[in-house]
Chain A
Amino acid sequence: MAGAKATKAKVRLGDLVFSKSATAAGTLILITLAAVAFFLFIQALPAFLPEADFHSKADNPLEYVAPFIFGTIYGSLIALVIATPLAIGIALFISHFANRRFAQTLGYLVDLLAAIPSVVYGLWGILVLAPFLNPTYVWLNENLGWIPLFEGQVSATGRTMLTVAVVLAIMILPIMAALIREVFLQTPRLHEEAALALGATRWEMIRMAVLPFGRPGIISAMMLGLGRALGETMAVALVLSPSSIISFALLTSTNPNTIAANIALQFPESGGDYRSLLVGTGLILFFITMVINMFARYIISRRAEFSGAN
Chain B
Amino acid sequence: MSKRIDLESLNVYYGDFLAVEDVNMVIEPKAITAFIGPSGCGKSTLIRTLNRMHEVIPGARVEGHLRMDGEDIYAADVDPVKVRRQVGMVFQRPNPFPTMSIKENVLSGYRLNNNKMSKSDADELTERALKGANLWKEVKDRLDRPGSSLSGGQQQRLCIARAIAVEPDVILMDEPTSALDPISTAAIEDLAVELKEKFTVVIVTHNMQQASRISDMTAFFNIAGTGMPGKLIEYDKTEKIFSNPSQQQTEDYVSGRFG
**A binding-site residues for B, Cβ under 8 Å:** 188, 190-191, 193-201, 204, 208-209, 212-213, 215, 303, 305-310
Cα(A191)–Cα(B159), bound, Å: 11
Which of A196, A198, A204, A308 contacts B98, CB < 8 Å? A308
Contact A198 B109 (CB under 8 A): yes
Question: A201: nearest residue on chain B (CB-CB)?
Answer: B81
B122 at the interface (CB under 8 A from A): no
**Which residues of chain B (95-137) have a CB below 8 Å from chain A?**
95-101, 108-109, 112-113
B200 at the interface (CB under 8 A from A): no
Q: How distant is B113 from chain A, measured CB to nearest CB, in Å?
A: 8
Contact A193 B53 (CB under 8 A): yes
Please list 21 pairs of residues, one from A and one from B, whose beta carbons are closer than 8 Å in the complex, sorted by A's number: A190-B91, A190-B95, A193-B95, A194-B97, A194-B162, A197-B84, A197-B89, A197-B91, A198-B109, A198-B162, A199-B83, A199-B86, A199-B109, A204-B112, A208-B97, A212-B97, A303-B99, A306-B146, A307-B99, A308-B148, A309-B98
Contact B148 A196 (CB under 8 A): no
B224 at the interface (CB under 8 A from A): no
> Which chain A residues lie closer than 8 Å to B153 at the CB level?
none
> Which chain B residues lie closer than 8 Å to A307 at the CB level?
98-99
Cα(A193)–Cα(B84), bound, Å: 11
- Majority SS of interface residues in chain A? helix
Which of B81, B99, B148 contacts A199, CB < 8 Å? B81
Cα(A201)–Cα(B112), bound, Å: 9
> Which chain B residues lie closer than 8 Å to A198 at the CB level?
84-85, 88, 108-109, 112, 162-163, 166
Q: How distant is A102 from chain B, measured CB to nearest CB, in Å?
A: 14
Q: How many residues of B contact A (CB 8 A)?
A: 31
Given known A193-B56, A308-B148, contact A199–B85 (CB-CB < 8 A):
yes
Cα(A204)–Cα(B79), bound, Å: 15
Contact A310 B148 (CB under 8 A): yes
B82 at the interface (CB under 8 A from A): yes
Cα(A212)–Cα(B83), bound, Å: 25
> Which chain B residues lie closer than 8 Å to A200 at the CB level?
81, 112
Given known A305-B149, A306-B100, contact A196–B84 (CB-CB < 8 A):
yes
**B binding-site residues for A, Cβ under 8 Å:** 51, 53, 56, 81-86, 88-89, 91, 93, 95-101, 108-109, 112-113, 146, 148-149, 159, 162-163, 166
Which of B51, B108, B146 contacts A305, CB < 8 Å? B146
> Which chain A residues lie closer than 8 Å to B112 at the CB level?
198-200, 204
Cα(A212)–Cα(B108), bound, Å: 13
Given known A194-B159, A197-B53, contact A308–B99 (CB-CB < 8 A):
yes
Contact B109 A196 (CB under 8 A): no
Contact B51 A212 (CB under 8 A): no
> Which chain B residues lie closer than 8 Å to A201 at the CB level?
81
> Which chain A residues lie closer than 8 Å to B83 at the CB level?
199
Question: B83: nearest residue on chain A (CB-CB)?
Answer: A199
List 16 other contacts, CB 8 Å, given A195-B108, A306-B101: A193-B91, A194-B95, A194-B159, A194-B162, A196-B53, A196-B56, A198-B109, A198-B166, A209-B97, A213-B99, A215-B99, A306-B98, A308-B98, A308-B99, A310-B98, A310-B148
Best-buried of A196, A215, A307 by chain B (most CB within 10 Å):
A196
Smallest CB-CB A-B distances: 7 pairs? A308-B98, A199-B85, A212-B99, A198-B109, A197-B89, A190-B95, A199-B84
Best-buried of B82, B95, B100, B163 by chain A (most CB within 10 Å):
B95
Q: How distant is B37 from chain A, measured CB to nearest CB, in Å?
A: 22
Q: How distant is A206 from chain B, measured CB to nearest CB, in Å?
A: 13
Cα(A188)–Cα(B100), bound, Å: 15
Q: How distant is B18 from chain A, measured CB to nearest CB, in Å?
A: 23
> Which chain A residues lie closer than 8 Å to B56 at the CB level?
193, 196
Contact A191 B162 (CB under 8 A): no
Q: How distant is B258 from chain A, measured CB to nearest CB, in Å?
A: 30
Cα(A255)–Cα(B82), bound, Å: 54
Question: A100: nearest residue on chain B (CB-CB)?
Answer: B58
Question: A188: nearest residue on chain B (CB-CB)?
Answer: B95
Q: How distant is B160 from chain A, measured CB to nearest CB, in Å?
A: 12
Given known A197-B51, A199-B166, contact A191–B97 (CB-CB < 8 A):
yes
